[in-house]
Structure 1
Amino acid sequence: MSTWFRCFDRRPLATMRLICFPHAGGSAVFYRNWHRLAAPEIEVHAVQYPGRADRLHEPLVGDAHRLAESVGRELRPLLDRPVALFGHSMGSLIAYETARLLTGSGIPPAHLFVSGGVAAHDRGRLAHRVAPASEEALIDRLRLLGGTDAEALASAEFRAFALPYVRNDFQLVQSYRHTPGPPLTVPITAFTGADDPVVRLDAVARWAELTAREFSCHVLPGGHFFLGHEQAALWAHLHARLGIATPAHCG
């Protein structure tokens, strides 16, 4: 079993897998409840980046391309069924680069979902792009983005434990450079929060330029971490784009 993926609900009869990529500073546990809204046909897996959670003692990866290469390599055993990729924030970059690698290997994903992320080739439009230099600036950035408990942000233990990999991830996003190439032959669906303080809608819409297939963009209520309270609406879109009926308990 690969250390790179976590599945919180095995579904041997599923016909598709959804591979979820966490945000900067995030881990697989962010997606721990997603299977509850997924149709029975979908088995949800979450990527566990090294250097955090139960991989805390492994070296961090500070390069998006290298991280995607590792994910793509470790993903091979899960490709016995069609896969779709979902990435939030930094995860949208890693999911996109993974989609490029899989496509180049002749096994493109069925769909690429990007959430809370500026188009990969348009990083200059990401507000507050420069990685925070000081600890307090890093905490201020996390506070702006939301998604992190205020009590945790004030905790010295949390800062010592989490800030090294949070800083690594912010620097990964800052240093990322898009390599020109042919557009994906994979449909892309983008999501963004209506009140996201760092991601502009026009920069999200530019994901359309990175695929030769269908593109759609959906704006949902909330800020950068809108998907925390808009999971039902989000999953309705995921099911629709994958051609799978939304389960009755999620409708």
Structure 2
Amino acid sequence: MPLLDGDDDLWLRRFDGAPPDGVRLVCFPHAGGSASYWFTLSRLLRLEVVAVQYPGRQERRREPLIDTITELSDRVFEVIDRLPPRPTAFLGHSMGAVVAFEVAERLTRAHGTGPEHLFVSGRRGPTVHRAGTVHLQDDTRLVAELRGVGGTDPRFFDDPELLETILPVTRNDYRAVETHHWVPGPPLDCPITALVGDHDPQTSVDDARAWSAHTTGEFGLRVFPGGHFYLDAHRPAVAETITVALAGARTPLTFEEAAS
């Protein structure tokens, strides 16, 4: 059953098995990623899990890509703001963490409060800015970047037709996040939990800890063994972290620990 009517429903994928009440978790994919990335994690959560589907991929592959975080966040906010009322938390990985944060800021400006909880994975806090040039590289170097960070099925690299479909989308998303500059504003009021791999080449533990400056609520940091896509190997632990945090939405959560 669609969550929303008309074009709005193109933006969201709801996975089966959600309980009839409780917190809704909206998941935001990484650069080059799609809603289906979150399916496996959703099976470990007794939540209504809704994944955002950006234009230009999978069943939306014929739609124009959106090449700025600002426009993408505006569009996603408009859709999420029309969802049926229910306590809602956000989870974003890498570029998805940036979009989730920007949408949370828009919700706060519109309604005076943000989501129940914001989970930011594999991404440095907004105040930690580094210039990125991956989107300017040729295809060979872009493929090398994707091989290095993981998260892409290795079979794609040996199939020219598949590469032809994923490289423009990935380059577009890298352009969006690498050229994005956060506009300083008031901190959120919801708890933020940052998750990061201890060998992530894109986000150090200190980079992830910088998210603590962006909330007046509680902050938690959990460090996992692994690189940028640590969560592929640690989905049960990630699911446990989310479940524990949301068991008492808007209640104190304070931890800073390494996960095994």
CA distance in 2, matches of 1:11, 1:36: 9
Give the counterpart letter for 2:191 in structure 1: P
- For structure 2, the 5+ residue unaligned runs are 249-260
Give the match for residue 24 of structure 2.
17
SS in 2 for 1:38: coil
CA distance in 2, matches of 1:133, 1:37: 37
1:1-251 → structure 2 map (5 Å cutoff) = 1=4, 2-9=9-16, 11=18, 13-39=20-46, 42-106=47-111, 107-124=113-130, 130-243=134-247
CA distance in 1, matches of 2:24, 2:133: 32
Give the match for residue 249 of structure 1.
none
Shift of 1:169: 0.4
CA distance in 1, matches of 2:222, 2:39: 23
Shift of 1:130: 4.3
CA distance in 2, matches of 1:123, 1:221: 24
State the TM-score, normalized to the length of structure 1. Answer: 0.91
Give the counterpart letter for 2:110 in structure 1: S
Give deviations 1:30-52, integer Å, cap 9, x for gaps. 0112232112xx20000000011
Shift of 1:156: 0.7
RMSD: 1.5
Shift of 1:151: 2.4
CA distance in 2, matches of 1:28, 1:85: 14
CA distance in 2, matches of 1:74, 1:198: 30
CA contact (8 A) 2:15 2:48 kept: no
Shift of 1:79: 4.5
Give deviations 1:60-89, integer Å, cap 9, x for gaps. 011111111111111123251010000000
CA distance in 1, matches of 2:82, 2:165: 32
Aligned length: 240
CA contact (8 A) 1:132 1:141 kept: no
- For structure 1, the 5+ residue unaligned runs are 245-251
CA distance in 2, matches of 1:123, 1:90: 13
Shift of 1:201: 1.3
Give deviations 1:113-171, integer Å, cap 9, x for gaps. 000011122122x7x65434200010010011011122211221112111111000001
Give the match for residue 258 of structure 2.
none
Shift of 1:213: 1.0
CA distance in 2, matches of 1:79, 1:191: 28
CA distance in 1, matches of 2:100, 2:48: 17
CA distance in 2, matches of 1:9, 1:74: 20
CA distance in 2, matches of 1:12, 1:243: 14
Superposed structure 1 runs of 4+ greater than 3 Å apart:
none
State the TM-score, normalized to the length of structure 2. Answer: 0.88
